[in-house]
Amino acid sequence: MTDRYAVIGHPVAHSKSPLIHAAFAAQTQQVLSYTRLEAPLDGFIDSAAEFFVMGGNGLNVTVPFKEQAYAFANVLTERAELAGAVNTLWLDDEGVVGDNTDGAGLVRDLQRHLSLAGLRILLLGAGGAARGVIGPLLDEEPGQLLIANRSAAKAVALAEQFDEPDLLQGCGLNELPAQSFDLIINATSASLAGDSLPLPATVWQADGLVYDMMYGKQETAFLRQAAAAGVQCRLDGLGMLVEQAAEAFFLWRGVRPDTAPVLAELRAGL
């Protein structure tokens, strides 16, 4: 019987995961099926449980169910524990395992362009998207990681959860220090609404890198804001999407696909 995988979310019709995993499977000669599974907003647990009872092998989890997937898993990886959310589920002898591949996906995409060691990094936002990438960013030994959020208290509380006071701090957007950053990552949803962020001019570095976890056919509002500030290297989150999927594929199948041609195909199709 063909191994079965799916992406579960609400809504999920827009998800590119089936295209990505079909490309990975063809590239690596893996025989599997991968579909979309839309669960009711109040029905994630039932939908995920039924998928596995009916012989499913693994699920990718997208919004708004990553926290529910964390509670659903019988076993959590260290990455999932740190993130407080799960985006990848699969079965093993102990039951349903939950992992979070978002941070690994971000780091792999960034490493196409620069080494993170020693960098001054500004992470914008203190929600689930930000929390999911802090651990993998810290693993790369940056020189500084500052979380900035509209609510300073939320940023400070998130930083304190990782117990790295010499390296990781939190502050409000209106409390940013008068310094530039080598790497600025937008983990807020501002670009979805086409909004810019209230950032002082001092944060931008012309030869630095700016990254928005959102993506689209055109540059996001945040990347346009960075361009106006003179930043030359600007990346959106499509690469992160492909890389986090590759990490999940590796966990499921034990083989790591080549992401470059898949990313190029997706980019051309936007």
Q: How many CB atoms lie within 10 A of CB 69?
A: 26
Annotated ligand binding at 215? The verdict is yes
Annotated ligand binding at 70? The verdict is no
Annotated ligand binding at 127? The verdict is yes
| Annotated catalytic residue 217 | no
Phi, psi of 133 (to 5 degrees): -110, -10
Q: Please state, in angstroms and rounded to a whole number, the distance separating the CA atoms of residues 173 and 203.
A: 11
| Annotated active-site residue in 10, 21, 66, 79 | 66
Q: Please state, in angstroms and rounded to a whole number, the distance separating the CA atoms of residues 193 and 209.
A: 22
Annotated ligand binding at 28? The verdict is no
Annotated ligand binding at 239? The verdict is no
Q: Please state, in angstroms and rounded to a whole number, the distance separating the CA atoms of residues 61 and 97.
A: 13
Annotated ligand binding at 151? The verdict is no
Annotated ligand binding at 269? The verdict is no
Annotated ligand binding at 149? The verdict is no
Annotated ligand binding at 98? The verdict is no
Annotated ligand binding at 202? The verdict is no
Annotated ligand binding at 129? The verdict is yes
Q: Please state, in angstroms and rounded to a whole number, the distance separating the CA atoms of residues 106 and 121.
A: 13
For residues 147 and 171, the answer to whether their CB atoms sit within 8 Å is: yes
Instruction: Report the chain's terminal Cα–Cα distance, integer Å.
Output: 34
DSSP symbols for 115-184: --TT-EEEEE--SHHHHHHHHHHHHT--SEEEEEESSHHHHHHHHHTTT-TTTEEEEEGGG--S---SEE
Annotated ligand binding at 236? The verdict is no
Residues labelled catalytic? 66
Binding site feature residues for NADP(+): 78, 125-129, 213, 237
Binding site feature residues for shikimate: 15-17, 62, 87, 102, 215, 244
Binding site feature residues: 15-17, 62, 78, 87, 102, 125-129, 213, 215, 237, 244
